[in-house]
Amino acid sequence: MRTAFALRTACVTGLTLALSLGGCPTDGAGGGINGEALGLGGTIGDVITTTFGDADPNGLFGDPNDINFDPNDLPFDPNEFDIFGAPGGSGEDAIQDPNLVDNGGIEPGDPTPPPSEQEFSLAPDDHPDGTDLTDLGEHITLSTTLSDNEPVELFFVSASDDNQGLAPSGDRVFGHANVPYFNDNRRLRVDFDSPARIVSIEFAGGTLNGTEIGRLQAFDHTGTLLAEYVTAPLGPGETERMQIERPQADIDYMMAYVADGDGNFGRMDDLRYTLIR
């Protein structure tokens, strides 16, 4: 069985190409053109019968390879129309090059940017006396432990006034339940929510008639001691920054305290830490 379809000649108005099922004007404001100009033969209004091949019962229009219409007969150059631009474009950038897409400077195929080091700090002087500092530091949790390094919720870490003027800086220090010092049975613990590479804290002696020795320890996620910093013996109000710096970020938590026999009233102040995020 043969199937015939009627296709009217094309009308070109300005830059718009349209296929019309009705007649086209031969002149006037519409800017119509005749079939001879289209290269299709005949004049406006002539019906060009395009015959398709034998109908395929599994298809709608039969074999499209039997179409007798040659698209090369169209009177315009498709390269003069840019799909994503205005008429007159090159046509070559119709399918955008993914390398030209603004993606923040990351080229296709680049790996995800690696995590970077970020520095943070927590100072008791930034908070009123008695403030519970447990969760107020960025990406850390503070707690007070006994000598086994296990947190005891009763002794929350506080911003505490140092009424003896022994704070390393300002007026307040870290305290446990507003008691402004740490020793072997009241240790300051800081847990990091991502690995730390550098940790430090300011220490000052707190014994009026003697010296004290501060101690800072860093542990990994298994509880293994990675490094330890021990200060010189310090008199009341004398300060030393305790700091541990690792070649890689593997510090899961830190402990700051005064060991048994090294004093009882050590002051802790100005916590600083560098995390990988």
What ranges do the domains of the chain cover? 3-97, 117-276
Residues in the chain: 277
What is the number of other CB atoms lying within 10 angstroms of the CB of residue 170?
A: 14
pLDDT tier at 215 (50, 70, 90 boundaries)?
very high
Place of tokens 């060991």: 259
76 closest CA partner among 143, 121, 14? 14
CB 245 within 8 A of CB 196: no
* Rounded mean pLDDT, 24-39: 45
pLDDT digits (tens, 9 = 90+) for 226-259: 999 999 999 999 999 999 999 999 999 999 999 9
Please tell us whether the domain made up of 117-276 is placed in CATH 2.60.110.10: no
> What is the reported pLDDT for 33?
43
> What is the reported pLDDT for 112?
72
Question: Is residue 198 scored above 80 in pLDDT?
Answer: yes
pLDDT digits (tens, 9 = 90+) for 43-89: 444 444 444 444 445 554 455 565 565 656 655 555 555 444 445 44
pLDDT digits (tens, 9 = 90+) for 131-175: 999 999 999 999 999 999 999 999 999 999 999 999 999 999 999
Q: From residue 213, how far is each of 38, 96, 129, 227, 264 by CA, in Å?
A: 98, 67, 26, 17, 10
The 3-class secondary structure across 191-260, one letter per residue, is EEEEEEEEEEEEEEECCCCCCECCEEEEECCCCCEEEEEECCCECECCEEEEEEECCCCCEEEEEEECCC
What three-state secondary structure class fits 134?
coil
CB 272 within 8 A of CB 200: yes
